[in-house]
Amino acid sequence: MAKSPETELPLKAFGWAARDTSGTLSPFHFSRRENGDDDVSVKILYCGVCHSDLHTLKNDWGFTTYPVVPGHEIVGVVTKVGINVKKFRVGDNVGVGVIVESCQTCENCNQDLEQYCPKLVFTYNSPYKGTRTHGGYSDFVVVHQRYVVQFPDNLPLDAGAPLLCAGITVYSPMKYYGMTEPGKHLGVAGLGGLGHVAIKFGKAFGLKVTVISTSPNKETEAIDKLGADSFLVSKDPEKMKAAMGTMDYIIDTISAAHSLMPLLGLLKLNGKLVTVGLPSKPLELSVFPLVAGRKLIGGSNFGGLKETQEMLDFCGKHNITADIELIRMDEINTAMERLHKADVKYRFVIDVANSLSSL
C-alpha cells in the first residue's frame, strides 16, 4: 500500500484513495493532524458518494492531485473536542460536508457564506498547510468546529449523510432564488443524488414538481416513491413541446454537458433556471430565449454552515432523507461505474465504519 508523499502528521488514518485518472480506489494509509483547541474529531460512520467525487477521481475538472481520498457527505460520531469547543460533545452525531476551512474574516465568511470564501479549503483534494485534505472514504476526520454541524436525532444516519452535500446544494439555491412559492411549478433536471432530494424539498415547499430526465425507467418511482407530480423524458420531442412554457423554476443537476435551450423552453415568462451541476465542458446557450422571455439563469455552490444546519433541521422536521443504496467500502469501484451510467437509486452511501475496519 502506497504512502502519502506529503508531510507526515501525528495521527495515522486509513481510507481508500485513487492514485491516477483511472479513478480506481484502493486502500491507502495517510496521516491527519492532532485535534487542536478548536477542533472536533469525528469517527466516520457513513459517507455518501457524490458525483463530484467521481469528477475528481477522473480529474474531469483538471485540478485533482493524486492520491486523493474523496468523500464530503460525512456523518459520524464525535470522539474528541478541543478546549474551545462548546457546541459539540463526545458522543454527538455530527455531519461534515464540502468544506473544512475558510478564512473566517472575508465579507463572505462574515455573512455565513463560507462556500464563496476565496480561501476555502475543500474536505478533500485541497492544499492545507503543507499537506492535502482527504475526505470521508476513511476512518476519521479532524475538523475545525465551524465546519461541523449537529445531525438531527430523528433522522437515520446513513440516509441522512447525502444531505451534507446533495441536500444543501439544492436547498440553498431554492431559498436564495425564491424557488419556494407554494403552488409554483418546479422542474428538476437530472434524477440522481441532487435531483431526487430537490423533489423532496420542492414538495415540502408546496410546489408542483416535474422531473426532466433522460431515463424513462425512473418514471414510476419518481412519482410513486419520491413524490414527483409528473415526469418528462427529455429525449421525447413531442412531450417536451407540449410542456413548453409551463414551469416557473428549473433546478439543473445534470452532471454531463448538455444544451440549456430545451430547458429554457420549458420556462414561463420570468422563469428561473438555476444550474448546480458541474459538467466539465461548457453548456450550449443562446441568449434569445432569455431576452424574449425575461428569463434568468443562475448558479449556486453548495451552502454555508449556518444554512447547512438550517437545512438539516428542516429535514428533521419534514422527515426528509435520501433514498440510498448502502454499500461496503470494497464495492466502491463498482458503484462508481454505475454512477457514471446514471444507474443509482438515488445515492450510494458507504457503510464506512462497518466495512473499512474489517479490511
Is the CB of 123 or the CB of 138 nearer to ligand NAP?
123
Under the binding rule (CB under 6 A), the answer on residue 277 touching ligand NAP is yes
Under the binding rule (CB under 6 A), the answer on residue 253 touching ligand NAP is yes
| The three grid cell numbers given for residue 171, joined into one nine-digit string | 436547498
Buried residues in 128-159 as b, exposed as e (16+ CB within 10 A) = eeebbbbbbbbbbbbbbbbbbbbbbeebebbb
Under the binding rule (CB under 6 A), the answer on residue 103 touching ligand NAP is no
Residues of this chain that interact with Zn ion (CB under 5 A) are 50, 52, 165
Closest approach of Cβ 341 to ligand NAP, in Å?
A: 9
Helix, strand or coil, per DSSP, at residue 258? coil
Closest approach of Cβ 255 to ligand NAP, in Å?
A: 4
Number of residues that bind ligand NAP (CB under 6 A): 32
| The three grid cell numbers given for residue 193, joined into one nine-digit string | 443524488
Q: Nearest 5 degrees, angle CA 239-CA 241-CA 243?
A: 70
Under the binding rule (CB under 6 A), the answer on residue 218 touching ligand NAP is yes
Strands 267-275 vs 296-299: parallel, antiparallel or unpaired: parallel
Between residue 51 and residue 90, which ones bind ligand NAP under the rule CB under 6 A? 51-52, 55
- Of the CA atoms within 13 Å of residue 338, those in its CB half-sphere come to 16
Closest approach of Cβ 304 to ligand NAP, in Å?
A: 12
Is the CB of 47 or the CB of 320 nearer to Zn ion?
47
Under the binding rule (CB under 6 A), the answer on residue 309 touching ligand NAP is no
Helix, strand or coil, per DSSP, at residue 305? helix
| The three grid cell numbers given for residue 30, joined into one nine-digit string | 495517510
Other C-beta atoms closer than 10 Å to the C-beta of 15 total 27
Closest approach of Cβ 339 to ligand NAP, in Å?
A: 5
Is the CB of 11 or the CB of 257 nearer to ligand NAP?
257
Applying CB under 6 A, the residues found at the interface with ligand NAP are 50-52, 55, 165-166, 169, 190-195, 213-215, 218, 253-256, 258, 276-279, 300-302, 339, 342, 344
